[in-house]
Structure 1
């Protein structure tokens, strides 16, 4: 049995579309149709029901899919265990959030370069919400994001957990000692991008404090470089992981505030499609987990 035909069956079954599967496999729709027809003849059963608009699995196809996926995973594992990592080639599209960039992404990039010298990396920095959608749509191979992502055929590997702290510049004229959120409301509070988990956590903390949310200036940005620059200049207060601002805490440009309202920790995951025939995202995800834990 031709493994390429089996891989084609898996992708058509997942995507429910011959032309989309052809794009994913970098071939033509005619080639995909021919592979499926040949596989069906070899097996003596119909794997798909087809009409003008839809492609669906037959009962035979439904039974075949889990086994075909297991075979493709075994083939990929065999290739990983036997092949020379230095000979692996290709491009991996990685999407990441700013927090990972500041914390340990440079070490991951160096490890990938050392282990897979012939593999190129396309890097995209965006919000977790956008990157999760891009992973599911197949636009990027691997997301290093605040997760997990619960969706079919998506794997999640936990990377690290960052405490989210209240941070400000010592030049900001706040009273010394323990602070309530009411003590911060004279200044803008910089959160992550609107709709993100940290942004919702800040809004929730304000609500629980009994303050009218409409009276508090919560500013949003998906650029941590912008946020850290503004709070270093004393513009306002921010909620950030220590790893993002450690260098400025060490120099004294920023300090951690003792605020009564604690914020939930941020959980980061490596997220990728469980794709047959593409081992690199899983390999790099495992690297990321090792580096994040060190």
Structure 2
């Protein structure tokens, strides 16, 4: 029996789509359909019920799932335990947020390239909420996001935390210290609605008796966008200090000491254990190490 056919079976079962499985495995939908059809002929049972809109495991497919996972897992463990990582190939899908992109993600990608030179990368940059959903539905193999993600089927490991600091456009000429009541006199740039940083700002306003409707809050899922708007349009934002400190436009911003402190942003690496793909667990360990090195270098200073 062809191992690739079992891996394809697991990918279709995970993504519930022949076309999505084809994209993830760098092949065509027709090739995926052919592999599944051949596997079904070899087993003499139907593994999927499929129509134009859905792909669902049959009772035989459900029965085969655990056994296929065990076979593929054993082969993957043999391959990674005995063989060289340099021989592995395929694609890994990673989802992350732009805070990580602008801090230590390039270091992680360099390490991945050195360890897995023949593994391609499919990178998605989005909000933490959206990345969490992509992990849950199997569209990405690993996410680095503000977490944790509360799901017993996923591993969620904290890798770093970034201090949040208040920044304003330098052209506003604001004093170095402000009260929260002064802050809301200016446009307040915040992360997307529903995000942890956005909720933290709303809680601060509530705790200090400031109705949120009195604040002009402009939401964005992009730190780069917020910094650009801060520089050119004025306003105030609470942003992760490491990312702003290394930004090319940092000279156009002023760090403001506000009488309220936002909680740090805590980032987690999140992934699902996969029999067919042991690489995410290895990359998660890489991310932990690289994030720790990044933090140590920051603390050590220039």
TM over 0.5: yes
Matched, 1:163 2:167: no
Q: Which moved more, 1:1-10 or 1:108-117?
A: 1-10
Match of 2:179 in 1: 180
Give the 5 Å matches for 1:269-288. 269-288=268-287
1:207 and 1:138 map into 2 onto residues whose CA distance is 37
1:272 and 1:202 map into 2 onto residues whose CA distance is 29
* Structure 1 unmatched runs, 5+: none
Match of 2:237 in 1: 238
Gap change, CA 1:22 and 1:270, over 3 Å in 2: closer
Structure 1 residue 281: Cα displacement: 2.6
Q: TM-score w.r.t. structure 1 length?
A: 0.79
2:17 and 2:245 map into 1 onto residues whose CA distance is 50
- The secondary structure found in structure 1 opposite 2:258 is coil
1:214 and 1:191 map into 2 onto residues whose CA distance is 14
2:49 and 2:122 map into 1 onto residues whose CA distance is 37
Match of 1:289 in 2: 288
Match of 1:32 in 2: 36
1:217 and 1:98 map into 2 onto residues whose CA distance is 24
Gap change, CA 1:238 and 1:14, over 3 Å in 2: same
Residue deviations 1:74-93 (CA, integer Å, cap 9, x gap): 43233222222222222222
Q: TM-score w.r.t. structure 2 length?
A: 0.77
Match of 1:203 in 2: 202
Match of 2:144 in 1: 144
Gap change, CA 1:51 and 1:127, over 3 Å in 2: closer
* Structure 2 unmatched runs, 5+: 294-302
Residue deviations 1:96-138 (CA, integer Å, cap 9, x gap): 2110011111111211222222222232221112222222223
Give the 5 Å matches for 1:3-152. 27-29=31-33, 31-32=35-36, 35=39, 55=57, 61=63, 69=69, 72-151=72-151
The answer to whether the Cα contact below 8 Å between 2:175 and 2:256 also exists between their aligned partners in 1 is: no
- The secondary structure found in structure 2 opposite 1:158 is strand
- The secondary structure found in structure 2 opposite 1:124 is strand
1:83 and 1:114 map into 2 onto residues whose CA distance is 16
Structure 1 residue 271: Cα displacement: 2.2
The answer to whether the Cα contact below 8 Å between 2:163 and 2:264 also exists between their aligned partners in 1 is: yes
Structure 1 residue 204: Cα displacement: 1.4
Match of 1:218 in 2: 217
- The secondary structure found in structure 2 opposite 1:139 is coil
Gap change, CA 1:120 and 1:9, over 3 Å in 2: closer
Supply the RMSD in Å over aligned alpha carbons: 3.5
Gap change, CA 1:188 and 1:50, over 3 Å in 2: closer
Gap change, CA 1:288 and 1:31, over 3 Å in 2: same
Structure 1 residue 241: Cα displacement: 0.8
